[in-house]
Structure 1
Amino acid sequence: MNREIKEPLRERFLMDSGWRFALGHASDIKLDFGYWEGKPFAKQAEGRGAIHVKFDDSDWREVSLPHDWAVELDFQYSDDNDINYHGYKPIGRPNPATSIGWYRKRFEVAKEDEGKRLSIEFDGIFRDSMIWLNGYYLGRHESGYTSFRRDITDCVKFDGPNVLVVRADASQVEGWFYEGAGIYRHVWLVKTNPVHVAHWGTYVVSEIGDGFAELTLQTTVVNEDDLAKAIAIESAIYDANGSRVATIQSEPTPIGSWKECEFNQRIRLEQPWLWDLESPHLYRLVTTVKDGEAETDVYVTSFGIRSIRFDPDQGFFLNGRHVPIRGVCCHQDHAGVGTALPDRLQFYRIEKLKELGVNAYRTSHHPPTPELLEACDRLGMLVMDEHRQVGCGEEIEGQLRSLVKRDRNHPSIILWSIGNEESGIQDTEAGARTARTMKRIVNELDPTRLVSYGGNNGGQSSGINGVVDVRGWNYWKIGANLDVYHNDHPQTPMIGSEEASTLCTRGIYENDEERGYVSSYDENFPGWGSGAEEWMKYYAERPYLAGAFVWTGFDYRGEPLPYRWPCISSQFGMMDTCGFPKDNYYYYQSWWTARTVLHLFPHWNWQGKEGQDIDVRCFSNCEEVELILNGRSLGMKPMPHLGHLSWKVPYEPGALVAKGYRNGQEIASAARETTGVPAELRLLPDRSAIDADGEDVSSIAVQIVDALGRVIPTADNEVVFTVTGPGVLIGVGNGNPSSHEPDKYIGSGTVWKRRAFNGLCMAIVQSTKQAGDLCITAESSGLIAAKVTIRTEPCVLYPSV
């Protein structure tokens, strides 16, 4: 991924490799490595057990970050709501033996770094983490989703190995969905001179004029030195081609010892390239800090230039152009890896959504990983950036401040959401006061974006809804007439912060409670939800609605509905947990993209149902569609706008073909054929070449095909994977919401395998730091094996420790 390259004055090292990991225990001191026996808060560097520098962790498992230990656990049936809503993984207070994780890492710091300021940045730990370095307690961080840093300058060693220890406690949950456990995002070691740009210390605001953009640059510089300084900064703007397009310098400004100073500069760009959905142009601000003639820091900030506006009658505008919000809500887990997504998977998921026609992403219901926002910036995806919860007090307010300061330079972000469905307070005056405080904090840190909230309280206009700028509706069906509300609140922009909740299982066409499957006919949804076609038509008739975020883009672990065990994941997604499309995917693609779409379903393997009517449907944006069975036309029908076509077709084996027409001309065709028995495997990697950086991945789709190469839509063969060359398997999946197979196989000599689900499964391979040919082989009993080679290519490695 595109990380900030090492600068000579500011060094940022990735700390993802070389960690040791072991499960502790929430209620047994000895099984928690004697953690409490040593009175860890009584004396510095005297803690016993895993905290102590000389603790022997040689029998702990070596892991690389990001790491989610919850996804490695076996599924476990329980009546406890927290466990079933977290995907039946034994995490939480009822499971003390699997809810505490310990991490230890040794690293060196060079002697020549004495005199620098050193810190460690954690992008995210789930949850309630405590940090020690060399036995010194660095503090606690409660949130499982916000990024944070710890200064280690005073306790670091320059004459031997440093020992970093993290204890993550996932026994208390934050959400009602799968949240993972552990250090599931990146960790960084940062080295700066005493005078440097503060953490998240830049803020760029753009105002667009006729043929120009006026930029306001706000830069906070800190002086962590015992002497006062006279500091100047130079701010240089570079375009995406690397050309410097503008520069401005400040006058020297006095900064007292251990003080900070804010610099405000304005700079004009002529004929700027705007950040947009199809041309997401990014600029770089390079800030150079100078103490006299000496440069003390270089800090790089990525940003984009664009205008955004919400209109109460016409919806959302980007760069002056009306853009309907065609969004999705997503949680952050993925097949095979849980919440510990390599950076490439963040891009993979956004690419899949863009192909579908999605243009907006809601980070439900918590701050995202930084790399997700990088993917949205670079690929052109709007973002509703959401805080974990509405609340008051220093802890919650601190979490909100960190979210806004960290993310405010991302051009993809168009809305801040302060929370979601806080039923206990959203209608109250206390809720309103809390929302006002949170809105004030957001406006203080970023006055350029509006504030919203995901409310599921219908037409209620007091409480939180009366405070936020953009009224968020979680489900239009819940207790309100939106037309009346719009008439009563004509100055309030409105958006569907959450819609649909349509339930579908990929490749399944009848409800099956015993197996936990739901028909894919867009007919199943909870009482608050609606089918895709239903809500789309409702919103299309109301231009004052800016659009909506569909629940959800991908299936996610936990929150199993409408069934519980054996079902272990949600089924709301347009795609399953692997990113394999469901039928509804093509409904949205038909009306959200300009490409020609013709999708025919269900499959045509109905042996034993000869002569019985099969419900055949078509999603398309063609004007007319003709259906043909074994060469016989079953008639042509016009495609209704935002609708679908359906036929009752007596089953007979063979070929069912749809032909799409526009202006009387055939422009597309789709077929569903009765397939033969499983004959061989086919491997389809999403990329044939990846970086040899030890982090890049390729997602390899596996298809079960017959002798004619047709995917068998009901196949469930078990597939065994092997890898040779510079790479490793890191996860497998199949999108089956009731599969209890492992996503990961831990330990040497283990066999990686996964059963196909309705003809498909997936393996995720990751590079090492060696270039060469990475070969993946897939085998299944009685089938012809498949092999694919992925080239791992030399690249500029990000410096790591």
Structure 2
Amino acid sequence: MSRVTNINKGWKFVLKECERESLIVSEMKEIKLPHTWNGIDGQDGGNDYYRGVGWYVKELEIEENHHGRIFLDFQGVNSVCDVYLNGQHMGKHEGGYSGFRYDITDYVSSDNILEVAVDNSHIEDVYPLFADFTFYGGIYRDVNIIYTDDIHFDLLDLASSGIYVSQKNITNEKAEVNILAKVVNSGNPSEVGCQISWVDENGGIILTDEQIKTIEKQGEFSFDIEIHNPNLWNGIENPYLYNVIVTLATGNEEIDRKEIPTGLRYFKFDEQEGFFLNGRHMKLRGVSRHQDRESVGNALTEEHQIEDMELIKEVGANSIRLAHYQHNQFFYDLCDKAGMVVWAEIPYISKTSDIDNTASNAIIQMRELIRQNYNHASILMWGVQNEIGIMEEKKSLEQIVREIHDVAKEEDTTRVTTQAQVMMTPEDDPSHYVTDIMAWNKYYGWYVDEVEDFEIFINSFRSKNPNRAFGISEYGAEGILSWHTDNPKVKDYSEEYHALYHEKALKIFNKYDFVWGTYVWNMFDFGSDMRDEGGVKGRNNKGLVTFDRTTRKDAFYWYQSMWSKKPMIHINSKRFVERHTDNIEVKVYSNQDNVTLMNNGNPIELLKKDGTIFLFRVDLTEGDNEIVAVAGDLKDSIIFKKVAEKNMKYVLPEEETKKGIMVNNDENVKNWFSMDLDETIEDFEFKKGYYSIKDKISAILENEEGESVLRKYLCSMLEHEMFNMIKGMPLSSVFSLQKDMFPKLLQLNVNKELSKIKKDVI
């Protein structure tokens, strides 16, 4: 029988770029897995976290007298990994988020030394190459030893279970299912029996089937079965899971067994009406999740992952985009059990390799993602790319998307493919039609324009693409708990604007059923060591919950009021305690019909009710003002303090507001105006055959004179850590992203100088 032994304890570790032979184990520190070396420096800003080689060494105890095969099972190592056992190279794995295995049977001895070299440095043909999150190095998921008989389910089928449960035709009345079991025999040819049992949640056996074959080196068993009147996996309302038990036997002895939790469901993405699960319309109320957390990086325990799921359930979401890579198998299991509709994707993000434009590593990671997660009922979508169009590519976006889409369809015809288009991709780009469905990363109201422009975009894209099913894969704004205001506005980084942004966006999305789903970016704040925004270094602060998972921001409660059936009430701006005005507007979120508010025991008249938003105008008295909100048995309270003067600790310093992904500091902005700018330019001139701000930055930089112009006016932008994210964009698009950073006078001068440079004619 197969047995799994966890070997997370008893490792030695050192950060050192060296040959294996030069390792001195006595000088290495003791650690246990999961482990990352970037839990601190990958989150403190500066884009200077250690990216290089770390060595892990372990004395490996192997069961004596085991007759069969022995495998090493790695569930996640970031990002390139070389494994040695007793000095023998077992193999190299390239890709930091999928599992991999090695058969070590022929290399074990009485004393075994396992050595693992892990490298998270930039490697130009291993994805991801560039992204707005930290690439934590280390063996950050479990490592196991798996013992099997000579005859066993294939564990080297890209580290899958070797068993694939395919839902061929599912209805409310009948489920047609195929179960494929891949079997390997490393011994003599043998007659092998394979039995399947379909078991309900109470342990009752619904049906069984068995086949017997002679297996020489490898073989397959395929079962076509029917389940009548199935209990369907119905999302968060009823995530019903059957148990498919698959066993192998020789003679009367069972030699291998797998149990596959299986939820039966059918679904459709309709171009006109949106998403349907089991024949019922369902708006996918989604959040996106990065797997890391404060001081821990991506070395999560099961308790961490359970806490994440509980928070996602609490907010009332019914769908999760697991960005931007394969997540832990344990978390996919949690999604199955919770009824979450899942978008799973590979780390093919932002940029294609400069040395391999076939994206071969992305294709391998797609195959790994699908085979390792094929049996998860929660997964309905395979994501093939995220924002690849943000940088200039040698291939067209359409060609890139098609190649990976075709691989996904080769691996799995039972689910749909999707993609997340970057916000500046043209609305008529043919790549939109390559995947089965598609979605947009749009940040109206944060990086560009106003939140209300979501409505303009949705109607515009719809008019140009009337038969295209699409969703919103990312939207969000930074919300930092330190900053507060009575008058929230874009780029003030306040918790109040963060909440107001999400109020406006969700109300717009809810108008359109054909928008099949929306995904908040992000459920949790996450590490991005290159960032320095809003007075916080090394972090993306768009989460509904803080990086350490201890604090739910006000926007969390907005979604809860709209999405959750559990009665709730919440007073906003509780961290904005000291108030200097005579009266304030108090906002309460509640999914109850009525809310009453009192200040120091005195009732306050309701000013306005807008769905789940209750607004009150409260006159403040000197000192403490105890505000109590009540809805039935629900109660929430806070004390606001009336003070004489505005407390500036709640206001982001002006120099910090000038920071962002495009400009380093306020001094750079001032330098623009100290230049001798020509104020007589009346309008932009775009001459055929000459450069302009409409050209991509990368194209302008290829011209020596063009580079000089950009360095003259925009040197700080060119030297910014996140410049690679924008250099494939037209310069005019970058200007529109941060209008306050690039005044029109500056734009006119840049364009005027570019318009003097003639393009080379090829």
**TM tier relative to shorter chain:** 0.7 to 0.9
| Equivalent residue letter for 2:589 | F
Residues 386, 419 of structure 1: 8 Å contact kept: yes
Match of 2:418 in 1: 452
Q: Aligned in 2, Cα 1:460/1:483: closer, same or farther, shift over 3 Å?
A: same
| Equivalent residue letter for 1:71 | G
Worse-superposed segment, 426-435 or 353-362: 426-435
1:328 Cα deviation from its structure 2 partner = 0.8
Residues 70, 91 of structure 1: 8 Å contact kept: yes
Worse-superposed segment, 65-74 or 164-173: 65-74
What is the distance in 2 between the residues matched to 1:595 and 1:294?
Answer: 50
Map 1:92-491 to 2 at 5 A.
92=51, 99-114=52-67, 116-157=68-109, 160-172=110-122, 174=129, 175-199=131-155, 200=160, 201-206=162-167, 207-225=169-187, 227-250=188-211, 252-256=212-216, 258=217, 260-276=218-234, 277-291=236-250, 293-389=252-348, 392-423=358-389, 430-456=396-422, 457-475=424-442, 477=444, 481-491=457-467
Secondary structure at 1:436 match in 2? helix
Q: Aligned in 2, Cα 1:214/1:75: closer, same or farther, shift over 3 Å?
A: closer
| Equivalent residue letter for 2:624 | G
1:424 Cα deviation from its structure 2 partner = 5.0
Structure 2: 5+ residue stretches without partners: 123-127, 353-357, 643-648, 651-762
What is the distance in 2 between the residues matched to 1:74 and 1:573?
Answer: 18
Q: Aligned in 2, Cα 1:645/1:393: closer, same or farther, shift over 3 Å?
A: same
1:385 Cα deviation from its structure 2 partner = 0.3
What do residues 777-797 of structure 1 show as CA deviations (whole Å, max 9, x unaligned)? xxxxxxxxxxxxxxxxxxxxx
Alignment equivalent of 1:13, drawn from 5, 26, 34: 5
Residues 45, 530 of structure 2: 8 Å contact kept: no
Query: Do structure 1's residue 519 and structure 2's residue 521 form an aligned pair?
Result: no
Match of 1:706 in 2: none
What is the distance in 2 between the residues matched to 1:76 and 1:197?
Answer: 45
Residues 221, 262 of structure 1: 8 Å contact kept: yes
| Equivalent residue letter for 1:233 | C
Residues 628, 658 of structure 1: 8 Å contact kept: yes
1:429 Cα deviation from its structure 2 partner = 5.9
1:179 Cα deviation from its structure 2 partner = 2.8
Query: Do structure 1's residue 670 and structure 2's residue 636 form an aligned pair?
Result: yes
Q: Aligned in 2, Cα 1:560/1:570: closer, same or farther, shift over 3 Å?
A: farther
1:397 Cα deviation from its structure 2 partner = 1.5
Residues 430, 463 of structure 1: 8 Å contact kept: no
What is the distance in 2 between the residues matched to 1:565 and 1:132?
Answer: 44
Secondary structure at 2:9 match in 1? coil
What is the distance in 2 between the residues matched to 1:317 and 1:520?
Answer: 34
What do residues 222-256 of structure 1 show as CA deviations (whole Å, max 9, x unaligned)? 2233x434433111122233332221112x33444
What do residues 509-538 of structure 1 show as CA deviations (whole Å, max 9, x unaligned)? 1499xxx993110259xxxxx810121111
| Equivalent residue letter for 1:602 | S
Q: Aligned in 2, Cα 1:545/1:606: closer, same or farther, shift over 3 Å?
A: closer
What is the distance in 1 between the residues matched to 2:391 and 2:305?
Answer: 34
Q: Aligned in 2, Cα 1:340/1:418: closer, same or farther, shift over 3 Å?
A: same
Map 1:657-696 to 2 at 5 A.
657-659=627-629, 668-673=634-639
Residues 598, 668 of structure 1: 8 Å contact kept: yes
1:425 Cα deviation from its structure 2 partner = 6.7
| Equivalent residue letter for 2:467 | Q
Secondary structure at 2:114 match in 1? strand
1:539 Cα deviation from its structure 2 partner = 0.8
Alignment equivalent of 2:521, drawn from 517, 533, 551: 551
| Equivalent residue letter for 2:320 | Y
What is the distance in 1 between the residues matched to 2:143 and 2:527?
Answer: 25
What do residues 167-197 of structure 1 show as CA deviations (whole Å, max 9, x unaligned)? 1112227433123220001111111122211
1:126 Cα deviation from its structure 2 partner = 1.2
What is the distance in 2 between the residues matched to 1:133 and 1:651?
Answer: 73
What is the distance in 2 between the residues matched to 1:147 and 1:641?
Answer: 46
Q: Aligned in 2, Cα 1:560/1:638: closer, same or farther, shift over 3 Å?
A: farther
Match of 1:65 in 2: 33
1:350 Cα deviation from its structure 2 partner = 0.7
Match of 1:49 in 2: 22
What is the distance in 1 between the residues matched to 2:510 and 2:621?
Answer: 36
What is the distance in 1 between the residues matched to 2:43 and 2:177?
Answer: 52
**Cα RMSD after superposing both structures:** 3.1
What is the distance in 2 between the residues matched to 1:523 and 1:291?
Answer: 62
Tell me the TM-score normalized by structure 2: 0.74
1:488 Cα deviation from its structure 2 partner = 3.7
Residues 329, 549 of structure 1: 8 Å contact kept: yes
Residues 218, 262 of structure 1: 8 Å contact kept: yes
Worse-superposed segment, 484-493 or 188-197: 484-493
What is the distance in 2 between the residues matched to 1:150 and 1:604?
Answer: 52
Q: Identify the structure with the greater helix proportion.
A: 2
What do residues 119-168 of structure 1 show as CA deviations (whole Å, max 9, x unaligned)? 111111112111101100112122111211112122111xx221111111
What is the distance in 2 between the residues matched to 1:605 and 1:551?
Answer: 24
Alignment equivalent of 1:531, drawn from 501, 504, 510: 501
Query: Do structure 1's residue 597 and structure 2's residue 597 form an aligned pair?
Result: no
Secondary structure at 1:506 match in 2? coil
What is the distance in 1 between the residues matched to 2:492 and 2:27?
Answer: 42
| Equivalent residue letter for 2:103 | D
Residues 533, 643 of structure 1: 8 Å contact kept: no
Secondary structure at 2:407 match in 1? helix
What is the distance in 1 between the residues matched to 2:379 and 2:163?
Answer: 16
Q: Aligned in 2, Cα 1:444/1:482: closer, same or farther, shift over 3 Å?
A: same
1:577 Cα deviation from its structure 2 partner = 1.4
What is the distance in 1 between the residues matched to 2:108 and 2:457?
Answer: 61
Residues 476, 482 of structure 1: 8 Å contact kept: no
Residues 459, 485 of structure 1: 8 Å contact kept: no
1:401 Cα deviation from its structure 2 partner = 0.4
Residues 53, 117 of structure 2: 8 Å contact kept: yes
What is the distance in 2 between the residues matched to 1:582 and 1:68?
Answer: 28
What is the distance in 1 between the residues matched to 2:606 and 2:628?
Answer: 9
What is the distance in 2 between the residues matched to 1:531 and 1:628?
Answer: 27
Q: Aligned in 2, Cα 1:567/1:429: closer, same or farther, shift over 3 Å?
A: closer
1:305 Cα deviation from its structure 2 partner = 1.3
What do residues 717-747 of structure 1 show as CA deviations (whole Å, max 9, x unaligned)? xxxxxxxxxxxxxxxxxxxxxxxxxxxxxxx
